[in-house]
Structure 1
Amino acid sequence: MAAGNFTLPPGQVHPYYPVEAHIVGYLANKWNTLQLVSMFAAGCAAIFGVTLVVVRKIRPTLSNGDLATIMWFVLCGCIHSFFEGYFAYNFRTMGSMQDLFGQLWKEYSLSDSRYLTQDAFVLCMETVTAAFWGPLSFVTAALIAYDHPVRYSLQLIVSLGQFYGDVLYYATSMFDHYILNVTYSRPEPAYYWGYFVLMNAFWIVIPGWLMIQSVNATWSAFSAVNDAHRLLERVGRANGKKVN
């Protein structure tokens, strides 16, 4: 179902929840859900394909794990910078937007209408994401591709930012739902569990894993340095020399 295919009760001008939400200039989508989801999936596939070709030329011997991480960060960079950046730039008129990104946001908003009502939290959260985590995702992908030693530090920073933003996103919606009794998602399970829960869970699970990986890599590096320093100290003491 697209945002324009619902049978609305008399007096209700849009299909979003809460039904009394004010959406400036609302226009129903021209494309249906299948068309929009297919175009989004095709865009992701194209990003993965181009990334694969470029990375294989840069480092043919790159491990599959690092390749998957690069593809993740390139996808994040595109979504954060362009898709979420689009929202941050057009947040005042999202209800009337009829281009691809606008209709995708209106489709997603069936699970969270805050994106169409100029909500302060989602605007600030998406603006920070677009301005910082988008560009830094591209930088992180490049650092991994070139095996730069700063890779794990930046990977940890970006992943923590994504994780923190997503936790707040879930938490603010749950607070409004359970404490204030305000629901932003339509009652159909596909919107809540498919769009709101599942689609955002990627930015909990994957950044969580990447943070653990970064901490382990940093731990191992510093442990090796400390072990080497202690070995030099023992050798120095045996030779009667002081090691700084």
Structure 2
Amino acid sequence: MNGIPNTPLHPYYPLGVAIPGYVAKTLTTQEILAIFTATCLGILIPTWLYIRHIRRDLPSSEVLTALWFVLCGFIHLGLEGYFAFNAHDIASHSTILGELWKEYSFSDSRYLTADSFVVCMETITAVFWGPLSFLCASCIVADHPLRHPLQSIISLGQLYGDVLYYATCAFDAAHLGIEYSRPEPAYFWGYYIFLNAFWIVIPLCLITRSTRETGRAFTALKELSPSKIAK
């Protein structure tokens, strides 16, 4: 109209997708990343100090695994839980967590459109994998026998969710021609690929480790004589 070309009301892809109640973010990308990094360090450093204080004999690999699950617990419950609770109007939020989701949504606009898959996936992640991640971390520090069953269940759930997350985007791009990420490499390769890849690589490693430990435990049990088992 009036010779003015149509322009999108927001910067997200696909251009023109409906985002009800959208309010532009006010924090810069640098500020959002700095807040996220500082928060992660603020969680991990005190947790590392606490674990080292109560379990000086715990191997470094076990400490790192416990820290991973603590971080997962905070991200799943705090960050993803916030999204799941506010999924239908998060585009209008100007809180720090709302700003963070609007920043991440440059790589996947489905988070601002209440997409059924991401809402269901993130809700399951927050409700189940969040609390169980904290429980698994405590089992690692306490050397509890439930550690490996919990580690396997959580990691498989994370891996399955992330694979479906990638797969649904790939399906829509290949069969419907819909791209949810902006074309800038930082958004697709940095946010969408790199950040989510942690929940592919690390769970695979943890599932492999737990499977080996479980196999060793059953092998050792079978090697015991019936008389020793009875005792």
Please give the TM-score of this superposition, normalised by the length of structure 2.
Answer: 0.95
TM-superposed deviation, 1:54: 1.6
SS in 1 for 2:114: coil
Deviations 1:60-100 (A, max 9, x none): 11110000000000000000001000000011111111011
Is the Cα contact below 8 Å between 2:80 and 2:123 reproduced in 1?
yes
Query: Which of 121, 135, 140 is residue 117 of structure 2 equivalent to?
Result: 121
Query: Which of 62, 72, 79 is residue 76 of structure 1 equivalent to?
Result: 72
Instruction: Give me the identity figure in percent.
Output: 51
Deviations 1:177-214 (A, max 9, x none): 11111000001111000000000000000000000000
- One-letter code aligned to 1:124: C
Structure 2 matches for 1:41-60, cutoff 5 A?
A: 41-60=37-56
SS in 2 for 1:179: helix
Structure 1 alignment gaps of length 5 or more: 1-8, 234-242
Instruction: State whether structure 2 residue 213 is matched by structure 1 residue 204.
Output: no
- One-letter code aligned to 2:218: F
- One-letter code aligned to 1:11: T
Query: Which of 207, 210, 221 is residue 225 of structure 1 equivalent to?
Result: 221
Residue in structure 2 matched with residue 195 of structure 1 by the alignment: 191
Structure 2 alignment gaps of length 5 or more: none
Structure 2 matches for 1:1-244, cutoff 5 A?
A: 10-229=6-225
- One-letter code aligned to 1:227: E
Q: Of the two, which has the highest radius of gyration? A: 1
CA distance in 1, matches of 2:76, 2:16: 30
CA distance in 2, matches of 1:171, 1:120: 15
Aligned residues: 227
Is the Cα contact below 8 Å between 2:9 and 2:16 reproduced in 1?
no
Give me the CA root mean square deviation. 1.5
Deviates more, 1:90-99 or 1:195-204: 90-99
- One-letter code aligned to 2:210: S
Deviations 1:132-153 (A, max 9, x none): 0000000000000000011111
SS in 2 for 1:184: coil
